[in-house]
Amino acid sequence: MEKEYLRKLIDTAKGRRKADLVLKNCQIVDVYNAKLIKGDIAVAGASIAGIGKYTGSEEKNMNGGFVIPGLIDSHIHIESSCVSPEEIGALLVPHGTSTIIADPHEIVNVCGMNGLAYMIKAAANTRLDIKYMMPSCVPATPFEHAGANITADVMRDMMASDKILGLGEFMNFPGVIAADEEVLAKILTAKENGKIIDGHGPGLAGNDLNTYIAAGISDDHECTTVEEMNAKLERGMYILLRNGSACHDLIKLVKGVTAANERRCLLCSDDRQPKTIFSKGHLEDHLRICVRAGLDPFTAIRMATINAAECFGLTDRGGIAPGKKADLVVVDDLENFNVSDVYIDGILTASRGQYLPQIKKYPINKVTGTCHVKDFSQEKLSLKLTSNKVKTIDIMPDGVVTGQGTAIVQLNENSEFVYSPDNDIVKIAVIERHKYTGNVATGLLRNYGIKKGAVAVSIAHDSHNIIAVGTNDKDIYYAVNELIKHQGGIVLSCAAKTIAAMPMPIAGIMSDKDGRWVNDKLTIIHKVAYEKLGINRNIDPIMTLCFMALPVIPKLKITDMGLFDVTKFAFTSVEA
């Protein structure tokens, strides 16, 4: 902070100088004492100068409106919104979000450090404050092919930069527990730079959990039960209660939030598509869920503000107090949290649902052309089996955890799997698209519900190879080839024709269009998926599919190298 700015702030706080902006007659949410303060909020530059009675060069009468601190999403992947950093700002700020903690491991898995550089430069073009974590696990495991391999040596220089807040979610929890050499090097790189380390430890308990936390990992967003949440809270972790487009853990976990533990609880989205943002909002939706579940509004707001700020060492925000960033959100009440105006750094940035700044885009040329597929053929999709008793990846409701099932399936005269309309089991395939390996792996998926045609996407967490599912090889082959022509995105096919599609030129995982365009395209895709392909209406047909290749979420997944048992952290046969 420069001396003259400090002088201005002090003079404004004392009242010797008019504030740049005064929000008058507010009901201010005091997150420190869980109460309301009636008064004015004075802003000098980008900072709050004081609370009380003030005059300003610009004054706005709030007429008793509620003002809360800018909301902080403590863990989100921008790429999963299918839009660029500039566009995620335009989507989220009108909902009261002023800061997000973003882990760009999706694009880094495709484009390496060029992807991270793009995300940082693009983020400079939005008023949303995007704090980036350094992706810790690229690839997430050694059991798949990604577009990059980010070692401790590769990340070392960037970890020292103020552009990086910490080390992103450490999905390789077996590597932490085993004290793997490269894992230790990454953790020490973060520690040496005084950076926080995000966790990702689904189901960890006992000494495994102790070991994971002892390594220096401070938070976790993968709890699915109150019991798991409490075990991690007991050992000093911050817990991020997740509510995204795919995972809806918040409604279960909020029941475990108490007066004794609420200061260690945060709110996060992890993944949130435009469809969800347009229909439900962002963190204000989380606040509504918390209050309707019986949590008092001050506790809910703390989870989205001061708790997150303290967890991530953001001492300049999280509350409405002198010296803090002037990130202020005006809401109608403390139950519905409908947002009217949003100020970021003291500047009105969104009003009545509209993002006010003009959007300027950073060039995407260094993160395009990312589908590098070798020798793909329809024959490679054949799934030949030695038995008709098979293992199935079972889709589970309201999350990305899958089951491991068994079933009897139909085989043809060549002992190849064939789809039966009487059995909700279909072929799933992963096609490697980064290193020209030619890898194609096939398995079986249950509860997806597709009754004809195929779906192919180049979004497949976390390595983002091409993942496809369908009732027959011809449609799968067609959809994948069309996807390669588009250099990534989403393709739905039937009778070897495209019936819906969305190109995604940014690393094959993000559109270069705005959020409304993406939402309209996804709306059409969802409609076609349900009505023409018969996909299960209880799941998101695209986002659910995207997680079937994630070999760090139990129980059964598939990578470009084969069917993977996450509980054993080893490949397994399709035959049961």
Q: Which residues in the chain come in under a pLDDT of 50? A: none
What is the reported pLDDT for 126? 98
Q: Which of 559, 321, 535, 317 is nearest to 433 (CA)?
A: 559
C-alpha span between 28 and 100 (Å, rounded): 22
What is the reported pLDDT for 471? 97
Cβ-contact 399, 435 below 8 angstroms: no
C-alpha span between 196 and 191 (Å, rounded): 8
What is the reported pLDDT for 142? 86
> Tokens 């005084």 appear where?
194
Residue 419: both structure tokens together = 């789809």
Helix orientation angle between 113-123 and 152-159, rounded to the nearest 10 degrees: 20
Residue 127: both structure tokens together = 């008023």
In the chain, % helix, strand, coil (3-state, to 5) comes to: 30, 30, 40
Residue 531: both structure tokens together = 């009505």
C-alpha span between 143 and 230 (Å, rounded): 31
> Tokens 């082959």 appear where?
477
C-alpha span between 478 and 495 (Å, rounded): 9
* Phi, psi values for residue 287, rounded to 5°: -60, -45
Q: Within 10 A of 325 (CB to CB), how many other CB atoms are there?
A: 25
- 3-state class (DSSP) for residue 558: strand
Structural domain boundaries in the chain: 3-64, 69-167+240-327+334-366, 368-571
C-alpha span between 367 and 147 (Å, rounded): 12
Q: Which CATH superfamily is domain 3-64 in?
A: Urease, subunit C, domain 1 (2.30.40.10)
The CATH class given to the 69-167+240-327+334-366 domain equals alpha beta
Q: Which of 543, 550, 567, 560 is nearest to 462 (CA)?
A: 550
What is the reported pLDDT for 45? 97
- Look up residue 154 and give its amino acid: V
DSSP 8-state symbol, 138: S
Q: Which of 460, 479, 484 is nearest to 551 (CA)?
A: 460
Q: Which of 117, 139, 73 is nearest to 461 (CA)?
A: 139
Cβ contacts of 242 within 8 Å, gap of 6 or more: 75, 221, 222, 248, 249, 250, 268, 269, 270
Domains 3-64 and 69-167+240-327+334-366 share a fold: no
User: What is the reported pTM?
Assistant: 0.93
Q: How far lies 476's CA from each of 139, 415, 521, 539, in Å?
A: 26, 19, 21, 20
What is the reported pLDDT for 49? 98
SS3 per-residue string spanning 279-320: HHCCHHHHHHHHHHCCCCHHHHHHHCCHHHHHHCCCCCCCCC
Half-sphere exposure of 560 (CA within 13 A, CB side): 29
- 3-state class (DSSP) for residue 23: strand
Query: Between β-strands 56-61 and 47-52, what pairing exists: parallel, antiparallel or unpaired?
Result: unpaired
